[in-house]
Amino acid sequence: MNQLAIKSLASGGVITTYACVSRCGHCLYNCGPHRDRDYMDGKQAEAIFRRIAGLGCHSVHIGGGEPLLDLQKLTEVLAAARGVGVGIEYVETNSAWFTDPDQADGVLKRLLEAGVSNLLVSISPFHNATIPFARVRGVIAACRRTRMQVFPWVNAFVRDLDRLGDSRSHSMAEFEAAFGPDYLARIPDRYWIHLGGRALETFRGVYRQHPAPHVLERAPLSCARALSDTSHFHIDLYGNYVPGLCAGLAFDMQELGQPLPDGKSPLLDRLATAGIRGLYEWVACEFGYTPRQDGFLNHCDLCTDIRRFLVQVDRKCFHELAPLDFYAETTRM
């Protein structure tokens, strides 16, 4: 019997788009300029907010991708939230859209009129690989002028960015030259990063990898707790509910509030009942999966590799592997 049932939602966000001008090295959802530029519309947003409110959550954050890639559609999403009675805790942005103070003031005034009072502004070496810090500073200054509250995430990197200069972007190699060859390895000590999504590729050469048997031996016997955690849930523009932090896994938000139908979600079934070990054994037996020889960072890394393998076997076989573009960034070797 399926053990996964999300009966209520605590705190989370709405992914309005997976498109972004940046391809950040830590992005859990593999967002970037290569992703489809689809954007949530007002009708989609209303259905999502009604579902969220019906499950007990009455405020969310707005994320992506980059929500401000389409200001008009973003305001439609915000209007839908207001109409349903769901509050907006903050809107995330990487500040790539900044061009000048007047333009930034105009954008923020529209957000304020739409009911947004707080902007999370991303600050990190990963974002700085594409976006000059001067743009981030420009957005923060605009927040002060327009009285938009600003949530800088995270301020700890400002000193580093200042030292390198804010007029252009900088590669990780430049950060390592300035602050030491272990700079990348030390970033997760400075703010929380989940080793999933693109972070797996970014940190694969930094942290020790372990063979599959070692990972399986230490993996949880069931992933039910992680999959059912709603303390930071996400629902995307396609109506996909992302269980826990398992980017690339999803089920229809209409199936929230009740146990998933038996047999409809075989990957989630096995993860919920038997953990990564159960998924590994099943995919190895039924589909011939063999693990990478160079090893894995953790059980999430192994799970992602198994799922990428299944996408290559048959892209349409498992509806839980969604959105499929999550797996398009890299191919399994």
pLDDT one-digit tens code per residue, 222-238: 999 999 999 999 999 99
- Type of residue numbered 199: A
Over the Cα atoms of the chain, what is R_g? 20
Tens digit of each residue's pLDDT (9 = 90 or more) over 39-69: 999 999 999 999 999 999 999 999 999 999 9
- Report, as an integer, the average pLDDT of 252-259: 95
Tens digit of each residue's pLDDT (9 = 90 or more) over 294-329: 999 999 999 999 999 999 998 778 999 999 999 987
Residue 1: predicted pLDDT: 44
Residue 290: predicted pLDDT: 97
Tens digit of each residue's pLDDT (9 = 90 or more) over 70-127: 999 999 999 999 999 999 999 999 999 999 999 999 999 999 999 999 999 999 999 9
Residue 333 has pLDDT above 70, yes or no: no
- Report, as an integer, the average pLDDT of 259-280: 94
The CA-based diameter of the chain, rounded to the nearest angstrom, is 61
Rounded-to-integer distance, Cα 168 and Cα 130, Å:
8
Residue 163: how many CB atoms within 10 A of its CB? 10
- Report, as an integer, the average pLDDT of 270-279: 96
Q: Which residues of 171-198 are buried (b: 16+ CB within 10 A; e: fewer)?
A: ebebbeeeeeeebbeebbeeeebbbbbb
Residue 331: predicted pLDDT: 52
DSSP string computed for 229-275: --TTEEEETTSEEE-TT-TTB-EEGGGTTSBPPTTT-HHHHHHHHHH
Residue 330: predicted pLDDT: 62
Q: Kindly report the average pLDDT of the chain as a whole number.
A: 96
- The DSSP bridge pattern shows strands 240-242 and 233-236 to be antiparallel
Rounded-to-integer distance, Cα 146 and Cα 49, Å:
28
- Phi, psi angle pair for 277, to nearest 5°: -65, -45
- Report, as an integer, the average pLDDT of 268-294: 96
3-state secondary structure of 118: strand
- Report, as an integer, the average pLDDT of 154-161: 97
The percentage of the chain sitting over the pLDDT mark of 70, rounded to a whole number, equals 98
- Phi, psi angle pair for 259, to nearest 5°: -60, 140
Domain 12-191 -> CATH class: alpha beta
Q: Are 151 and 188 in contact (CB under 8 A)?
A: no
**Helix (H), strand (E), coil (C) string for 137-161:** HHHHHHHHHHCCEEEEECHHHHHHH
- Report, as an integer, the average pLDDT of 278-283: 97
Question: Where exactly are the structural domains of the chain?
Answer: 12-191, 213-327
Q: How many CA atoms lie within 13 A of 157 on its CB side?
A: 25
Residue 314: predicted pLDDT: 84
Tens digit of each residue's pLDDT (9 = 90 or more) over 189-206: 999 999 999 999 999 989
Residue 151: predicted pLDDT: 96
